[in-house]
Structure 1
Amino acid sequence: MDSDQLRATVLGFLGAFAVLGGLLYLVGVGDLLDVLRGASLEMVGFVVLATLGWLVAWSVALRTVLGVLGIRLSVVRSFLVFSGAMFSNNVTPFGQAGGEPITALLIATVADTEYERGLAAIASVDTLNFVPSITLALVGAAYFATETTFGTRLQFATGVVVALALLVPAIVYLGWRNRYALEHRAIAVFVPAIRRVARLLPVFSAPTEAAVESRIGHFFGAIERVAGDRTGIAVSLGASTLGWVLQMVALYLAFLAIGQPVPFSAMLFVVPMGAIAGVTPLPGGTGGIEAVLVAVLAALPSVSISASAALGAVVIYRGAVYWVPVIIGGTVVSVIGADSVS
């Protein structure tokens, strides 16, 4: 990790601690500790199991996409690689956007393939994961709209989901239609910048424009190959949807763990809204996701719980979905890094 990336990561964690500190101040540390002390360890264990199920489901989506690209990995290796991907997302700012380059390198190393193919694979999985999350959030919003009148916060949250449902596909479509223009612009911007770095660091060899163009072309070719495989897309979307449902089950079980059951229908809306906060410049969305989850839960008329109870369940849930992949994935990345050095 270079100094700029290290600095950004440190600042990101400081920001996350600041947000979490503010949230704890508003809710009350003592009240939160009382909630956590009364939590059922058995139910917390089920939260961890649901989290592992989520990782397995999304690793199946990654394995399917890699298979479409001609890369064969076992279920176990796919699980370990995806855990490494989640580790990268959780320790770099901007979530998936910050972790994707590292994840692509991990895939390329484990599968012994080109970097751009690994980048295309993880980018495809992230894109496919977006579809069921927004769909489930819209289903949840539609359900609550038939049950109650939305307050200001819920109207704003629903507006964000609808805007993303329209904006993101439009951006992807326009980007793909203009991919060759974007390719030429990227070459014109990045190749001169890389050459300047190469002049400052003689040990670094600057790539030619033809080499960069070839790599970008391979990346677009891999994306097109994934997009053209309907069976692969269907399987990946199914696995992705199962993963989202298991995340919702994990949060639902977290509320059962503290003795404060909430309707499962609320999870349809709450979990995707929390995931949206993952795009903040905080490592893994830490701080932002917790704040959004508590705020949305408090705004739902059908969820009558205190702020301390909401935060207690969120802490258990986030403790699982953040730390389980960090522990497993961090171990994977460390082992692969040690092997590559040796």
Structure 2
Amino acid sequence: MPVTSVSTDAEALTLTLVAEFPVPVERLWEAFAEPRKLERFWGPPGYPSTFGEYDFRAGGAAHYRMTSPEGEAFYGLWKFGAIDAPHAIDLVDWFADANGVAVPGMPASRMALRFETTADGCRLTTVTNFDTAADLEKVVAMGVIEGSTQSMAQLDTVLADLREYALGKGTQVELIDDVHVRITRAFEAPRHLIWRAHTEPELMRQWLLGPDGWQMTVCEISTAPGGSYRYAWTPGDPALGPGFGFEGENLVIEPERRLVSTERMTGLDAPGTVNDLSFAEDGGVTLLTLYITYADLAQRDMILATGMTDGMETSYQRLERELLPIG
């Protein structure tokens, strides 16, 4: 966890976050200076940001939205003050509406981001100043400490060389908490191809099969927001067990970047999951990240115990073998 401390000062009206990273300070600076990199971590898991306007200069502005797994959008507005690469960024941060207009009555804050070299890499210190104690208390109550900590935790992946960080390591599983799991898998392929492999039925039928011996008999998918999907598999050998299927609805669709959907087993009267699938490309490597929300701890453990991730890795290897060579 890169965050080393988070503290508030009721007298100074400040919130201070300190995080350290094992990379040169210039690489950390780039993560804030380039909006496509900033989008990969600015926002806690399940609430990634999308920056429309990003005028990174003194006097410039940035307008962004955070989109929840249910598709609800939350907007923010930045106005940049002094910028001293790669050492300092000063900005004013407002809650905003969809048009980039600050929302009256919501707390505004002034953020000072400082980047410095350390013996082991670099350090980021962010000091946020508020106008009143009530404003500070309000944003803390809204979860800014937890959200900021979770956002900074995602920076490790952005700062890393994906070839060294994830390529060749297979399907990786991280238990976030009782009801959230993060699964990652890297591919040496462009993002558009990995997106197609997850959204075009004729391609999905070639690799999304799990263990050998199964065939995908139903693959119906709509990539429109609010659309639905239905998948089914049948074993070639009855000894492998009965067939099964999944179905659900799309909640968020951002082509080649994010696909959020519900998932439930066909014919089973039980709670489903929310699957938040994101695609990030860097240096010719695409990192696929699946952030799953379960109904409770029991469901999480039950599903993981089925060998789900082993089946995913078998399918991903098939994807690499069957689809990537032909591009």
TM-score, normalized by length of structure 1? 0.25
Structure holding more helix per residue: 1
Q: Which has the higher strand share?
A: 2
Greater relative CO (CA pairs within 8 A, separation 6+):
1
TM-score by length of 2: 0.25
